[in-house]
Structure 1
Amino acid sequence: MIRIVKILFFLLFVSGVNAQIKDSVEVKIPIDTISLVQSIDSTFLVAKDYTANDAVLDSLQSDSLQTPKMLYIERALLDSLLRPYYNIHIDSTKSNAYGRDIMITPKYRMVIDNYSGDTSYIPLPNKVDYFSKMKTYGIDTIGFSNAIELVSIKRTKRAADPVWWDHKNVIGFDLNQVSFVNWNSGGQNSVSGLFKVEFARVYEKLYTLWKNQVSARYGLNNQQNLGLIKTDDEIRLSSSFGYRKDTLSNWYFSAQFNFKTQFTDGFKDAESEDPISRFFAPAYLHLGIGSQYNVKEKLFSIYVSPLTLKSTYVFDEKLSNEGAFGVEPGERSRHELGILVRTKWEKEIFKNVAMENDLELYSDYINDFGNIDVEWILNFQFKINKVFQASFRTHLIYDNDIKIKETNEAGEVETLGARVQLKQQLGLGIIYNF
């Protein structure tokens, strides 16, 4: 009798499998378990497909009929039993020894009242992940058939920093040449050259104005049958420092320093052997304090110093003994205290025609006050292109301490009074700014 019951139970089981071939779940539950629902928490549910033929073949085996080890339940029945109380998650991408992974987690937590002993079920809160897993990305190695060339990238500033320094660097060379061939009016072949440099640094920031300048000029002329003679020789150093009380004023409390001398010996003409000037003979030094009016936009400035020390140095023994350049015979220097006025104006009067006007006036308080020493330089520059430039320059000097010496008919050297000194130069050459 028991054997017949087992066969009927197995046939019912096989018919259930055939009705749900593709959507069944396997529940590993011992046969002697009393309640399916009570033990479902400890089961492993795995999807597994069976065919009717396999079930029939298994039913013919006596061992499987005597002790069946697996119980099959339809998935719809399982969902109806578990869904109200459990969260069921089936992952088809993962599998274990029984097939697809099924994760079952309870929806409620049982709570027992301490006084009454009653039980109740409280919904469990949803799981919240406060920390997300860090994602990692990889990149495959990329190969290039052609070599990669390195290039330089020029950075462009969106907002430029304020520029407090202004630079000026100029190097120029002028060349003049005159030659004659069977020229009826006569004349001598000559070649002259002039080398000039100028470096300036100007610092201007709010209340402070600091100007520095170094310039030098040296020119030679070579005439037929006369040899070389110097046409220009000058070294100048200047520095001025000014301070103003506010940014609206153009007046600065200022102090200035100026120095001037020459490179080589100077002669009256090409036939003379005795130099009339040498390096540091003379040399002029101005040092004073005062006030400066500066208008940057118009390139104009005027400096007035009521207290200026002027020093004249003659470091050549022969010229010192002769009392040249206003020093006492045998002395190497002469010092004066007076008032100095210096102006400078730069302006483009026409297109590609620039003018530069420097004027300096000085009068000594002690020695013959009111007698004014004058130095005036007027320079015109005619720009041809970026490289070539023509220039016309005049240099006027009047110094009461510089006396003119001439030889009379008897061959004696006579010392005459001071005279106006004038030098004019016209040249065409190249100029380089950097």
Structure 2
Amino acid sequence: MSFPASLPKAVTAVLESINSKSSTDFCTAFSSDGIIIDEGRTCKGHSSIEAFFKNAFISHSASVIFKNANQVGEHIIIQVTMDGDFVADYGITEPFILYFNFHLHFNNITSLLITPWDSSNPTMTAVYVDKGSIDDPISAIKTAPRLQPTPQEGWVRVKMLAVGLNYHDIFTMRGLGMRTPKFPLILGCEGAGVLDDGTEVLLYPAMGNPNFKGDETLDPERHVLSEQTDGTLAEYVNVPLRNVVPKPKGLETISAAVLGIAWLTAYRMLFTKSGLRAGQTVLVQGSSGGVTTALIQMGSAAGMRVWCTGRTQEKRELGLRLGAERAFGSGEELQEKVDAVFDTSGEVTWEHSVNSVKAGGTVVTCGGHSGSSIPLNVQKVFVEQLNIRGSYLGTLQEFKDLISFVVSKAIVPHVGHVLPLREADVGFRAMLEGKTAGKIVVTL
């Protein structure tokens, strides 16, 4: 088909080359360092662009029909109807609408953004997944422009400044959760940002039925950011007004960004679920993860005798630097039993946790990263009258109390790595491989 004569020659060349299946004409339209961004994939330079063309268009027998064009500043957005054989690879029913967003310089295309939505509307960069991957969750991550969402009634827009990464996001990448994730989903469960009026805020991550009364962590409809709604790993996120809490002036943004999930979970485990008092001895199973470093720092600040475990000498030394009195190897028998054990891993550590707590003591669990099917000697539980307590996140009031506690005790949450948004996948891979040394934070 013919294309409007008013289109720049480079744009026409791209559209015509798709229909003629000419990778040479397609590549020639781009500058030598030209970029294509297509649903999270970024291709730069002619060799990469040629490979993209063959994989995306030729291999799927693609063709395009021009619908309309729109110029926004230096960008030309072309709406096309695309046909081809996309069902097998993508489950897409043809034909379908696409938007080609071109940026040109001296008659060469410097960038091309391809989206299924109209990119003439305000966009933002986001880290998201559009399907789960059980075996290789990191491969599901995409970093690309997305439409800026409009807040619904009772919600507010937050410009994100810093976001803490959590293992919960890895479950989402795998397509797992209390309820099946509704893809596509922007990742990120917590963070700190600023409202449109300039107010700096922290985000309380839990949402649910607004009419539910009582402890919101028991709401049958509860969920957190990035489970049923888009999360915080984007330039902007929309949240219910009740989920924004003003950031105290004495709290740094990086520190504020990590309090919503791991630190709130640790706070509830310590102060709501364990029944501990200052001076009592606790064992933290781990010494380098987000929840475990929070337990060590807060437990020590609250006057508890904190012991921890670690798989390596480096991890054990980190636990000691953060306030633990003693550090043991994973599974190492303790010389004396403790008043409470905090277990975040599940299957691998559970037997050691139960064997390490004294009669009448408490084991608090908040996770099952190593597996959720645990060995349990029920006779030991009732004979020694052990208390086994499950803990999930925390209430909004506990979140506010946590913030006050951290500020009043001048606690600086331990952050092991700070990464830019486009390297969020690097942080998640480190988390998946157990190469953490405290929280990992992404800045925007």
TM-score, normalization: structure 2? 0.20
What's the TM-score once normalised by structure 1's chain length? 0.20
Structure showing greater Rg: 1
Q: Please state which structure has a larger fraction of its residues in strand.
A: 1
